[in-house]
Amino acid sequence: MNLAKYLWLAGSAVAGALGSIHLLYTFFSNKFLPRNGQLMEEMKKTSPVISRDLTMWNAWVGFNGSHSIGIIFISVLNIYIGLILFPVFQKKDFYFLLNIATMLFYVFLASKYWFSKPLIGVCIVLGCYLVSYILVIVNR
């Protein structure tokens, strides 16, 4: 059963690393800046239909920041549960399936909207979670 736990922790650590890199890239690098500087200026002047108080640029930065902190939160929670509560949580399917469904959605997003490196990363996380869950089921 230790392998299931270690795979869960490894997948969670990869997710946390991806979220942390994304957060760093969002606020401390130029990685998410458009190559076309004029586009950035237009984004700073353009509001979405939902509110004139918001610019597309602020929405872009905010969405990237919230996406980053969300995946960091999920990974920290999963690491905590993996370290402290794994024997309890392996008795029920819900938490495994919720995380697997979440990672499946990230795989969908990465394959449709992102680029290859995040897709590879979320596939690794999903693979770790799936194998962990299968090992738990087999050893019940």
**Domain map (residue ranges) of the chain:** 2-138
Name, in order, each residue with C-beta under 8 angstroms of 84's C-beta and a sequence gap of 6 or more: none
Q: How far apart are CA 85 and CA 62, in angstroms?
A: 33
Residues in the chain: 140
55 and 63 Cβ atoms separated by less than 8 Å: no
49-82 confidence digits (pLDDT tens): 999 999 999 999 999 999 999 999 999 999 999 9
4-42 confidence digits (pLDDT tens): 999 999 999 999 999 999 999 999 999 999 999 899 999
Q: How far apart are CA 128 and CA 4, in angstroms?
A: 9
Give, to the nearest 10 degrees, the angle between helix 37-45 and helix 56-80: 90
